[in-house]
Chain A
Amino acid sequence: MALIEARSLGKSFGAQRAVDDLSFAVHPGSVTGFLGPNGSGKSTTMRLMLGLDRGDGVTTFDGVTFAELDHPMRHVGTLLEAKPFHPTRTARNHLLMLAAPSGIGARRVDEVIEMVGLTGVARGKPGKFSLGMGQRLGIAAALLGDPHTLILDEPSNGLDPQGITWLRNLLKFLASQGRSVFVSSHLLQEMAVLADELVVIGRGRMLANGPVQEFLSHSGLGAVTVRTPDAGLLGPALEALGASVGHDGDALVVRGATAEQIGDAAHAAGARIHQLTTRQATLEEAFLEATGMSEEFRGTQGGEQP
């Protein structure tokens, strides 16, 4: 099982810095989500990791770069774009071709075809495949070598809800076997239930990196709601801790303090608490907060002047 270490990844397109000094690690036995707005450099970063794009920095898989791996498909499975296949080469032949350099046999090809649910169309031309079927074929290619590491760029694109559930269970299962899974997605709700750790970037720069819970708890959008008849005592005590205190009806909405800190402060101030509810920011809220000023492409809403 491999530890992925990306160090100082960088890439420029002309004068624009697409990826700037990104360093992170993906640990075995975990799913690491790779988040960022459109154009933030996620795909470029993945290509840099695999040596497909020329740029700065280095990525190692248990200390070895991708180019140095012997039969890399047996170590690192990749899905980098939708429908990367010739439209008239059958799905099975496509996989046989990719398998050939690594000495992977037809039996394994048939196994992964079955695994992704394409057995019925394995001898069909993928030019007629839907986006979701194309993604399944791409996932099959990534799984061909039974690799210890997976790097998947938007694998859920085009998948129907059943397909997304299947993919989530598959990736969780693979991670539970000790494999390293690095996956980008714009489906934040999906990532919230799939990922153990996150790498969040904006405009090619690192915005956050670490466990999902840590990312959520650091969000300023998380709050603790306190119902107390002694708001006059508790409010100033919490503000003295550095928390911000707002009002929602007869309750206080506290940001910047944990439930434990609030409980302790109430005890010290002699304030009674009738209800204390922690509300954590959703991944979507935390993501939008983190990337708020990092969107490469910003649209307008109807009637709004750009």
Chain B
Amino acid sequence: MIDALRYEYVRLRTIRSTYWLIAIALLLQLVFAALIAWSLGRSATFGGGEETFEILATIGGSTGAPLLVAYVVGLLGVFSTGHEYRHGMIRATLTAIPNRTVVFVAKVVSTAVISAVTAFLCVLIGLLCIIAFGLDLPSASGFAEVTGGIVIYTVLFALSGLAYAAITRNQTAAVALLMLVPSLLEFIVQSIVVIIKTNSDDPRGAGGITVILKYLPYDAGSQMYVQSSIDGFVQRALGAEPFGPVGGGIVMGVFVAALLAGAYALFLRRDA
């Protein structure tokens, strides 16, 4: 396993996309966090408190917007496997390390570590902006909860990208899946469920088709850092109470684990 991790380390270190993607994630975080912090500092209506850190660490993701760092770092997950197939590297990789389980696990570990570190750095940038603009610092527990949520979501998001690339063996298709499944596909499912539910005999009743909304993996996972969102408001109005941070994290975790299990099984079985 150490050999495969060494390979992954050199792989990540010797390719420009690693640096570009991390730099883009950090830069976007810095620019948006600074702008938001500046804006909040001038706001007469913003109440401050714990919410300040939640908004800045997620650069608006805590209100239901996409978690930008996850989308950028998710590409590292796609590339970890996608480059192998796009550039015909997979056979060279497997002649250096023939044990496919070790190769796959090393990719999962390296993707998880690099996405976790990048997400944590983004959180720290949010914290620095709070200090720089003199806003309310979070409590220790608030910091830990929000940071944990952001880091775990980003890691799971990136791992889903890795799994998409391993399943499709097509980098472009994997990028499309990673971008479209959380944003477009889940939105379409939500819209269909809302239309069906609002036209039913009991539009506000609990249960029924709205249960599906709780199990949309990326939306459920976002409960780990989202405090209040329009999606959540709509779900509650239709009688579907979201799982919350722990339950939502488990739903997303199970989904990503299933994706990885499928990707691993195919990786073992297929020709390289």
Contact = CB atoms under 8 A, between A and B. Distances in A.
Contacts of A132: none
Interface in A5-38: none
A180 B179 CA distance: 49
Contacts, number: 83
Interface in B89-134: 89, 91-92, 94-99
Contact of B98 (A66, A89, A96): A66
A259 to B, nearest CB: 47
Contact of B15 (A72, A81, A89): A89
A78 interface: yes
Contact of A85 (B9, B89, B271, B272): B89
Given A86-B15, A88-B16, A97-B11, A102 B272 contact: no
A72 B7 contact: no
Interface stretch (A49-57, A208-216, A244-252, A297-305): A49-57
Contacts of A105: none
Contacts of A69: 98
A48 B61 CA distance: 49
A148 to B, nearest CB: 15
Interface residues of B, number: 26
Given A67-B99, A81-B88, A97 B14 contact: yes
A101 interface: yes
Contacts of B91: 47, 52, 80-81, 84
Given A54-B270, A84-B88, A101-B7, 12 more contacts: A47-B272, A52-B95, A66-B95, A72-B95, A72-B96, A73-B95, A80-B91, A84-B89, A89-B15, A94-B14, A96-B10, A98-B96
Interface of A: 47, 50-54, 66-67, 69, 71-73, 76, 78, 80-81, 83-90, 93-94, 96-98, 100-103, 141
